[in-house]
Amino acid sequence: MRPPERVVVTGVGAISALGLTARALWDALREGHDGFGAIELAEADTLRFTGGAQVRGFDPAHHFDAKQLPLLDRFAQLGLVAAREAIVDAGIEFTPDLRLRCAVVTGCAAGGQASIQQVYDDLWRDGRHRAPVLTIPRFIPNALASHVCMEIGATGPSFTLSTACASSNHAIGHAFWMVRNRQADLAVTGGSESPFNIGHLKAWEAMRVVAVDTCRPFSKERTGMILGEAGAMLVLEPLSRALARGARIYAEIIGFGMSADAHHITQ
């Protein structure tokens, strides 16, 4: 029986409140910047909290053509831009065999909230009687995984995990397991979220868990969390394959585990 594969990270991509690329994110973190600011939303003044970590300066038209754009909710746009960056960064050349053996595993808790909000606006505010025809493929949480597969022609395992704030960590962990156990020769994995529409923010407001000032993890004076949006993706592959093709290796993943607190619905 062959031993498990060693699994390494050979590509990274990110778009966040700290910048529109993984490099910009890393530089901002090193310099101690944060991405928090006043929420840019028409109805923001009706909220109890005013701050969030929004992606600013992002123009979808620079990344997607007129045919593709109507198919993509903002959460999928962010994730797909990050996936593209990670794949280019890894220098992957997709052969027919690699497409067949490539896994795409993403995490997403909320799905296409902007598309859901649009349906409510159309029906209850504007008095229309039909939802936009592309609402379902836009808001389903696995939309990102599907679009990544279609873009690179990957026909291997493709799925999305939705486990609240742990969604993308769980996605990366499952992708790691698949590469380690030779169920896939390559994995594109990560996740994205975009929660900034009034209905979704009002739901968070009702829980009273969002900070009214800023995010201060591990501080006993903290007043809550801060919502943000982003996309972040990795390329994972066996160490032997990465070495054989001369890939740059960022890190090795040596283990992954999951557990549940079995304690409280929100804590």
Q: What is the pTM of this model?
A: 0.96
User: From residue 147, how far is each of 71, 73, 122, 157, 205 by CA, in Å?
Assistant: 9, 11, 26, 13, 32
pLDDT value at position 176?
98
pLDDT value at position 29?
95
Q: If you search the block for the tokens 């093709």, which residue do you land on?
A: 245
Per-residue b or e along 29-42, where b marks 16 or more CB atoms closer than 10 Å to that residue's CB: eeeeeebbeebeee
pLDDT (tens place) for every residue of the chain, 267 residues total: 789 999 999 999 999 999 999 999 999 999 999 999 999 999 999 999 999 999 999 999 999 999 999 999 999 999 999 999 999 999 999 999 999 999 999 999 999 999 999 999 999 889 999 998 999 999 999 999 999 999 999 999 999 999 999 999 999 999 999 999 999 999 999 999 999 999 999 999 999 999 988 888 899 999 999 999 999 999 999 999 999 999 999 999 999 999 998 998 877
228: helix, strand or coil: strand
Task: Return the structure tokens found at 86.
Answer: 């990670």
pLDDT value at position 262?
92
The Cα 191–Cα 109 span in angstroms is 9
**What number of other Cβ atoms are within 10 A of residue 135's Cβ?**
17
Give the residue among 180, 171, 114 at the shortest CA–CA distance from 142. 171
Kind of pairing between the strands at 158-161 and 7-15 = unpaired
pLDDT value at position 179?
98
pLDDT value at position 163?
95
pLDDT value at position 266?
79
Alpha helix segments (H runs only) across the chain: 22-30, 74-90, 96-100, 113-120, 135-139, 143-152, 167-180, 198-207, 239-244
